[in-house]
Structure 1
Amino acid sequence: MATSTSNPMPDTAPESAQVRTLLQLRELILSGELPGGSRIAELAIVERLGVSRTPVRAALLRLEQEGLLRALPGGGHVVQTFTERDIADAIELRGTLEGLLARLAAERGAPAAVLTEARGVLERIDAVLAAPALDAEAFSEYVALNSRLHELLAEMADSPTVERQLERVCALPFASPSGFVLAEAGSPAARDMLVVAQDQHRQVLDAIERREGARAEAILREHSRLAQRNLRAVLAGHSNSPTHAPALKLIRRR
């Protein structure tokens, strides 16, 4: 009896340590503490985070898969930098995959429970956008709700294969659906852009419910174009003040 009750802890503890180490290391990169081009040694991260080599090794491999790190031939990793085109291509790919999932959801028929939850999230976003001006707290709420809505849109297709590829793309810096929202929070045009995005959210749900696959796909591909506009606006607005969004330092300007 004693052995059966003690088994779960050794199984879950290492997984928890790996997730925690991954999040900490990713934050060090995106916060600018480990700037683009800097070399990262496994032992140095072990000492910095105070964890064993196993979770650090797993975190380095995952961040290499995400594209944030590049393995060096002689050992160790280097923090990647990206061109504006790299980021634009990642956003375009995200829109393509989300569009595919929306089309599949429409053609296959989305689960009623998921559609109902998505409608509820839409209503909560409407409530956030009802304010004439959005403060930092409102933008944070929008980010969370927007992220959940896109998760539900991906769920509707019931395609784990495509979802896995979408997760990899969204893990890249700035490529996620909410990647630039906070960076644009102070812009006078920010709320207007979110209102347009919300209208597209509603249209794609309508298309999925009506089983209009081509229309649903086209709307979500167009939806990603807003992120492209946001990318250009953020880079233009923060070219002289990258400290407002430290991860922008990973983007190489032409």
Structure 2
Amino acid sequence: MSSPAAGSNVHPDSVLSELPPRDTTALVRDVRERLRLAIVMEEIPAGTKLNQVQVAKQLGVSRMPVRTAIGELASEGLLEPVPGGGVAVRRLNERDVRNVYDVRAALESQAVRSVARQHPAEGLVRIRQVLAVHKPHVRGYGAAQLLAADREFHMAILDATENPYFRQAITPVWSTVERAMVRSLHITEVFTTAWEQHEEIAQALESGDPDLAEARIRHHLGHAVAQMARAMSVEGGPPRS
């Protein structure tokens, strides 16, 4: 794929291939999500300076939605200003990973306690449905599917609290979560183990035991951050650029 800073054509399978026509609001959202996924999946590597004109050309849109999307992604911490103007993809380090997982642990431990106490029938059914759809198949999933399935499970727990502020609180940091997860996608056992742990979390929620549910989500997140830190250490620190 060509970098957004380059001027060559984009492969049709690229995350940054041309978008279909949209209204303005939807277009900004689609540009933002395409750029976010390209950054998460390292199609736009860390340290790359974004060229708004080139991004707009690759997506087949004007500069306005690109400019708006870039501003939103900068507010999420995916992009940062660079000397001389413009923005580049922010580099991710081990401290970032541990910090964002501290936030996850704080939010999700409270969320599972709430679900276990309230025992919402529809929410628990939805969590079980997500497990049934994805757990048997994760070994055959590609990177984007793995990220999407994991997101679906954890968001199902947050939604089961019936408190929309849980999802709203975690959404701004989720891109950083997924950037961190990408570092360990090559380790098959990471995701198979994760889904076994998802099953254990669901069982704790279904049992109505808040303490057990919190213990299992904290163990799950602690195991994940340890694997990611190990993967980043093997690669020599921050993600490759």
TM-score by length of 2: 0.74
Q: CA deviation at 1:76?
A: 2.3
Structure 1 residue 23: deviation in Å?
2.9
Aligned partner of residue 39 in structure 1, secondary structure: coil
Q: Say which one has the larger Rg.
A: 1
**Partner of residue 182 from structure 1, selected from 185, 197, 202:** 185
Offset of residue 21 of structure 1: 1.4
State the shift of 1:32 in Å: 4.6
Per-residue CA deviations over 1:188-210 (Å, capped at 9, x if unaligned) read xx1xx445433432332233233
Identify the residue that residue 161 of structure 1 maps to in structure 2: 165
Distance 2:43 2:145 in 1: 26
Once the two structures are TM-superposed, the CA of residue 28 in structure 1 deviates from its matched residue by 4.3
- Pairing partner for 2:156 from 152, 157, 166: 152
Q: Distance in 2 between matches of 1:86 and 1:211?
A: 33
* Alignment match, 1:63: 73
1:18 Cα offset (Å): 1.4
Distance 1:224 1:238, change over 3 A: same
Tell me whether 1:102 sits opposite 2:101 in the alignment.
Answer: no
Q: Deviations over 1:54-102 (max 9, x none)?
A: 2112211121122111245864223211221111221232122111111
Q: Kindly indicate whether residue 189 of structure 2 is the aligned counterpart of residue 198 of structure 1.
A: no
1: distance between equivalents of 2:146 and 2:34? 24
Other-structure match for 2:6: none
Alpha-carbon shift at residue 233 of structure 1 (Å): 3.6
TM-score relative to the length of structure 1? 0.71
CA deviation profile, 1:93-115 (whole Å, cap 9, x unmatched): 212211111112223x1421221
Quote the Cα distance in structure 2 between the aligned partners of 1:156 and 1:194: 23
Out of 101, 109, 123, which is 1:114 matched to? 123
Report the secondary structure of 1:207's partner residue.
Answer: helix
For 1:95, give the aligned amino acid. Answer: A
Contact map agreement 1:35 1:249 (CA 8 A) in 2: yes
How far apart, CA to CA, are the structure 2 residues paired with 1:115 and 1:21? 33
Does residue 1:208 correspond to 2:205, yes or no? yes
Q: Any conservation in 2 of the 1:36–1:79 contact (CA below 8 Å)?
A: yes
Residue of structure 2 equivalent to 1:3: none
Structure 2 unaligned residues grouped into runs of 5+: 1-21
Structure 1 segment 3-42 matched on structure 2, within 5 A? 13-30=23-40, 32=42, 34-42=44-52
Identity of aligned residues (%): 25
Partner of 2:15: none
The alpha-carbon deviation at position 224 of structure 1 amounts to: 0.5
Give the letter for the 1:248 counterpart. P
Please, which of 210, 213, 218 is the counterpart of residue 215 of structure 2? 218
Match of 1:6 in 2: none
Instruction: Verify the 8 A CA contact 2:113 2:214 in the aligned structure 1.
Output: yes
Aligned equivalent of 1:127, options 136, 157, 169: 136
Q: Confirm or deny: 8 A CA contact 1:103 1:214 kept in the other structure.
A: yes
Alpha-carbon distance in structure 1 between the residues aligned to 2:110 and 2:57 = 44
The separation in 1 between residues aligned to 2:46 and 2:80, in whole angstroms, is 11
| Structure 1 pair 79–160 and aligned structure 2 pair: CA distance change class (3 A) | same
Output the CA distance in 1 between the equivalents of 2:239 and 2:151.
21
How far residue 232 of structure 1 moved from its aligned partner, in angstroms, is 2.9
Partners in 2 of 1:160 and 1:249 — Cα distance?
A: 36
Residue identity opposite 1:106 in structure 2 = A
Take 2:91 and 2:144, find their aligned partners in 1: how far apart are those partners?
27
Shift of 1:52: 1.6
Decide whether aligned partners of structure 1 residues 123 and 25 sit closer, same or farther in structure 2, where only a CA change above 3 A counts: closer
Partner of 1:232: 229
